[in-house]
A and B are shown apart, each in its own frame.
Chain A
Amino acid sequence: MATMSYEQTGATAYRRLYLVPPSPSLSEGDSRLLLSEDTASPNQDALFAELRQLADEWYRETGMFSVMHHKMMHPAYQRITNMYGRSAIPFILSELKARKGHWFVALSAITGENLIPEDELGNVPAMRERWLEWGRRNHYIDYRSYVIAR
């Protein structure tokens, strides 16, 4: 799906989009994908700064919503999911750990993974831990310098 900006779609039109399609994410070979303490580069810092700005905007403007179809249709959430794709995973996981936001729909859309068993649906701490464990297992939670900087 082509990513639409908030200005392009208008303040209300985004609410009509109820599905997040699979992300045309950045390629596996993207140099920003593999983040670790030793390989952090200016590009990676810039990436995290961009994502931080979008995430802060999303928290600020959707924190009052209790249902995901309103949270996930926010342009910032759509941009993180659809423009940044897999390169956003380390950032999203660090957010999941530090700020406990609802990133589950984005993570599933980006990765294609459905990690949550039936008996844990809606159990947010358990869902969070499933994804953090997935991140550790797949070496996405290595960017210690970023975590320390926060």
Chain B
Amino acid sequence: MLSPDREQEFPNLAGSGYQRTSGESSDYNCVAWAAGETHTWYDAMFPHLWPRGLPRSPLLRSYVRLFESHGYAVCEDAGIEEGFEKIALYTDEFGAFTHAARQLENGWWTSKLGDWEDIEHPSLENVSSGSYGTVAAILRRPIESSSGNQ
């Protein structure tokens, strides 16, 4: 479990049955974690890693393009789909990207909470409505093309 002060940042998390699955780390962020990496901080803001040629913008479209460069494509449904792994991207009220979560084989989702811990949670709504806003895009990629998943 997260500490109470951290848990309260996510109004739909308490009582969901979520699990904390790591200690805290500032060495990687939710974007890296969603892409299956734990040694990188992807961020549109210099001096963090960002694919060459993509605009360094905080808006959703730029983060969709980042994940497209990792083999993902936008899809409609967040349900389990055999042969695919999925991620969900969240935005705030201004359309700025806030968070990425990755779907697990059992249908739960895994999230790296900023500089805080990783958690596994039953639904996308568990980390919405607070600091992360709402889900704005779902993407998927064939499991065969994934690289280095944790």
Q: Nearest residue in B to A107 (C-beta to C-beta)?
A: B47
Instruction: Tell me whether B114 and A66 are in contact (CB under 8 A).
Output: yes
Taking CB atoms, residues of chain A closer than 8 Å to B116 are 63-64
Check: B43 CB closer than 8 A to any chain A CB: yes
Instruction: Tell me whether B47 and A67 are in contact (CB under 8 A).
Output: no
A interface residues, tally (CB under 8 Å): 31
Taking CB atoms, residues of chain B closer than 8 Å to A104 are 47-48
Instruction: Tell me whether A15 and B96 are in contact (CB under 8 A).
Output: yes
Q: How many A-B residue pairs have CB under 8 A?
A: 96
Q: How far is the CB of A141 from chain B (nearest CB, A)?
A: 20
Q: Nearest residue in B to A72 (C-beta to C-beta)?
A: B45
Check: A100 CB closer than 8 A to any chain B CB: yes
Instruction: Tell me whether B44 and A65 are in contact (CB under 8 A).
Output: no
Main secondary structure on A side of the interface with B: loop
Taking CB atoms, residues of chain A closer than 8 Å to B50 are 121-122
- Given A15-B94, A16-B94, A62-B114: A122 and B26 interface contact (C-beta under 8 Å): no
Taken together as a complex, chains A and B put the C-alpha atoms of A15 and B32 apart, in Å, by: 23
Check: A125 CB closer than 8 A to any chain B CB: yes
Taking CB atoms, residues of chain A closer than 8 Å to B30 are 66
Partner of B49, one of A70, A102, A122: A122
Q: How far is the CB of A105 from chain B (nearest CB, A)?
A: 6
Instruction: Tell me whether B94 and A65 are in contact (CB under 8 A).
Output: no
Instruction: Tell me whether A124 and B113 are in contact (CB under 8 A).
Output: no
Partner of B115, one of A12, A16, A102, A108: A102
Q: Mark B1-33, 1 if CB is under 8 A from A, else 0.
A: 000011001000000000000000011111110
Partner of B96, one of A60, A64, A69, A116: A69
- The 9 sampled A-B contact pairs (Cβ below 8 Å) are A15-B92, A64-B116, A67-B45, A68-B43, A72-B45, A121-B46, A121-B48, A121-B49, A121-B50
| A residues lining the B interface (CB < 8 Å) | 12, 15-16, 18, 59-60, 62-70, 72, 100-102, 104-105, 108, 114-116, 121-125, 127
